[in-house]
Amino acid sequence: MQLEAVQHTKGALLVIAGAGSGKTRVLTYRVAWLLQQGIHPMSILAITFTNKAAAEMKSRIYDMVGTAAQDIWISTFHSMCVRILRREIEIMGFNRNFTILDADDSKRVIKRLIEDRGLDDKRYPVSMVSEHIDRAKNSMLSPDDLHATAGQNVLGHNIANIFADYEKYNLKHHSLDFNDLINLTIKLFKEHPQVLDIYRERFEYILVDEYQDTNRSQYELIRLLSSHHGNLCVVGDEDQGIYSWRGADISNILNFEQDYKDVKIIKLEQNYRSTQVILDAANSLISNNTQRKGKNLWTEKESVHKVVLLENMTAKEEAQTVISHVRLLTEQQDLDFGQFAILYRTHAQSRNFEDVCNEEGVPYRLVGGVRFWSRREIKDIIAYLRVLVNPYDDVSLARIINVPKRGFGTTSFQRVQDFAAELDLPYYGVLEEADAVPDLGTRAKKIAKDFIAMMENFRKMTQYLSVSELIHTIVNETGYLKELNKLPDLEREERYQNIMELITVAREYEKREEAERTLEGFLIDAALVDADQEEGQREAGPRINLMTIHAAKGLEFPVVFLTGLEEGIFPGVRSMNSEDDLEEERRLCYVGMTRAKEILFLSHAQTRQQYGQTNYNVPSRFLREIDPEFIQLGFIRPKLRPQPQAFINRVNPFKWEDAPKQDSFLDSTPKRDPIRPTSRAKKRVVENFEAGEDIRHKIYGVGQVLEVRGSGQDQEVTVEFPSVGKKLFVVKYAGLEKVKK
């Protein structure tokens, strides 16, 4: 089947590639095959979602065909679009040195726009508005489209207005967010067909990886690009779609047959990665999903152990049990730390594992986490660089005008902002003309002039300094490094290290062969490429891999620990109200399970600290959905409180002798009341609930309100709990004290 997929080069091809079925292999061999058929490397375009995947594919192709690989476009959707836009965007009124806004930057802009409109930020929280805008952009809707669907809804119209402001802002300040990269490329192609022709004639053969993760605009882009030659090969697996929150639309892959003519479909169902039990367990889980075509993964690989269940009392103990098992396996088997992966749903869960690793001296590698580029000191320095490249970039300017402290505080800056709004100028322009700003103090004017002089001086330096040298100069000349000295030792050291790391990243960039080696190019990398940084973990040798399940996609490890399998964590609270979201969580669980080659561990804890508060969690429904036949208990006995034993007995034929009799643990409700007020509920003035209202933010772990009786401080609310199997509870708000069952 793989060979057939490699050699079917003409027309539209859909490869349904189950987990571990050799997807990457097919893609790389296919490229090699095309080259061997005499196709020019320049006419091949391979698109992936992550930089990691692109780099992986590049190096594998390079290994096979050597330097010919250089001319093939292998990139992510986003970097491909940047590459095109950098060349062509000027016909659309943008500067080619545009700034790329990350989620954080874009929220700052939106926050300001909400304020400018005089809207209440309680009714219009930035996160909510930006989510709406993001969703609209993913589905290629314009502000007008939003107005059209808003009807009588004032909120909807206001969001549409902010959206329109946002678009105007970006055009004026030459900034693009991640969605714009794709959407503007489409707009460019549609409005300037002569540009589209260049690209669609060039790319004779197009390959798209992880097709199930494409959203509306990515779909559109592919359609445009493949519309000339029509040789489009997409690879994907509907069971591994885990990005719907980013607009990914699984129906893109499910409807591929209808969307293109004469589609050839090839299913890869043989798995070359995992043992049979792991596949059986994963299959039994995913069969609970309805949105799938269904496929039957099989393998010739024999099973070692059943899937191993680890039950724990606390999250900390979960980490200890996991690390103990890692130790045991490294001692008994021929395995090193690098062959283990600990996966979790959210980054916040990494903490306990890090702690235990540190305590026990076990080396680990943390993937992701607080991302390098979003650290404060890194963003500060990048903001300096951005202003040098794009003086219209107000967000960055606002960030650095008083960082490090130079006596230009909020009052002075507010005056600059007001004046800028009045004259419709960028902040940088206003600062250049500081004397003209009304009410600005003499001292502030002087500071502004000095600042501009300094920036202009930096700008001259860009001519003859490399990026790393420039960064070095900036942190010294601005006094940024000096200001770090005021911080407590630990923090200072960490920030300092990060800055040094940034300089290293810049040096590496300067060395890269295919890079532009300019400041502009560096900033694009900074926005799009995640530094594969290994903060303070420089020791060589194999290390345990810690990462989210999302980050593990496409990877494989001999031993995998899938942790935190608890209701409210995995599936997360926010996913428990809709069937669609639940299915996605289930797919995520499936992805996690199928990363394992030899042994798969599943673990949960009864107690976990969340928001600095202890919570009691029921084991995840996913544990219940996996056929118990494929599960066994851990090698090391976990410390447990009495209740779970019943469940252990259910899955483990070797009973613990003095296990107290009790109903099945998985089916029982937790000991503590699942309805607990958050600490702030006590203080907040009681508000009136409405039927149908979502009050999860007010009371932890609660779903839909079904019925309300009474009002004010004496309400009775009937609520449906998705986590406890649709039982009904009555919640009574007793004055300002707390919520009672």
Catalytic residues: 23-24, 209-210, 240, 595
- Closest separation in Å from C-beta 350 to DNA: 9
- Describe the strand order of the beta sheet including 716-721 as a list of residue ranges: 704-709, 716-721, 727-734, 738-740
CA-wise closest residue to 603 among 634, 558, 628, 580: 634
- Closest separation in Å from C-beta 39 to DNA: 26
Q: Which two tokens stand for residue 379?
A: 């963003």
- Closest separation in Å from C-beta 52 to DNA: 7
- Closest separation in Å from C-beta 288 to DNA: 19
Residue 48 or 330 with smaller CB distance to DNA: 48
Please give the single-letter amino acid code of residue 532.
D
Residue 225 or 651 with smaller CB distance to DNA: 225
Residue 364 or 408 with smaller CB distance to DNA: 408
- Closest separation in Å from C-beta 132 to DNA: 14
Give the Cα separation of 207 and 446 in Å (integer). Answer: 57
| Side-chain half-sphere CA neighbours of 460 within 13 A | 5
- Closest separation in Å from C-beta 376 to DNA: 7
Residue 26 or 552 with smaller CB distance to DNA: 552
- Closest separation in Å from C-beta 21 to DNA: 23
Give the Cα separation of 288 and 622 in Å (integer). Answer: 10
Q: Which two tokens stand for residue 694?
A: 């979502």
Q: Which two tokens stand for residue 106?
A: 């874009």
In 574-685, where does DSSP find H-type helix?
A: 579-593, 621-625, 645-651
Give the Cα separation of 720 and 704 in Å (integer). Answer: 6
- Closest separation in Å from C-beta 644 to DNA: 25
SS3 call for 294: coil
Give the Cα separation of 542 and 562 in Å (integer). Answer: 20
Residue 278 or 366 with smaller CB distance to DNA: 366
Residue 134 or 204 with smaller CB distance to DNA: 134
CA-wise closest residue to 535 among 399, 359, 377: 377
Residue 528 or 648 with smaller CB distance to DNA: 528
Q: Tell me the pairing of strands 307-314 and 631-633.
A: parallel
Residue keyed to tokens 């069971």: 239
Number of residues assigned to the chain: 741
Q: Is 44 within 8 Å of 24 (Cβ atoms)?
A: no
The CA–CA distances, whole Å, from 740 to 248, 376, 566, 728, 735 equal 40, 42, 23, 14, 11
Q: Can you count the helices (H) and strands (E) in the chain?
A: 29, 22
Q: Is 420 within 8 Å of 426 (Cβ atoms)?
A: yes
Q: Is 607 within 8 Å of 315 (Cβ atoms)?
A: yes
> Rule CB under 7 A: which residues touch DNA?
49-52, 76-79, 102-103, 125, 127, 178, 242-243, 245-246, 345-348, 368, 376, 402, 405-412, 444, 486, 528, 530, 548, 550-551, 572, 574-575, 581, 609-613, 679-680, 683-684, 697
Q: Which two tokens stand for residue 129?
A: 């508005």
Give the Cα separation of 416 and 506 in Å (integer). Answer: 33
Work out the end-to-end distance of the chain between its first and last CA atoms, rounded to an integer number of angstroms: 58
Residue 101 or 646 with smaller CB distance to DNA: 101
Residue 291 or 668 with smaller CB distance to DNA: 291
**What sign does the CA torsion over 354, 356, 359, 361 have?**
negative
CA-wise closest residue to 477 among 451, 496, 447, 444: 451
Backbone torsion region of residue 381, taken as left when φ is above 0, otherwise alpha when ψ lies between -120 and 50, otherwise beta: alpha
Residue 5: φ, ψ to 5°: -65, -35
- Closest separation in Å from C-beta 122 to DNA: 9
CA-wise closest residue to 527 among 171, 102, 108, 134: 102
Q: Tell me whether residue 145 is exposed, middle or buried, using C-beta atoms within 10 angstroms of its C-beta: 0 to 12, 13 to 18, 19 or more.
A: middle
Residue 34 or 126 with smaller CB distance to DNA: 126
- Closest separation in Å from C-beta 238 to DNA: 17
- Closest separation in Å from C-beta 409 to DNA: 3
Q: Which long-range contacts (CB under 8 A, 24 or more apart) does 125-128 make?
A: none
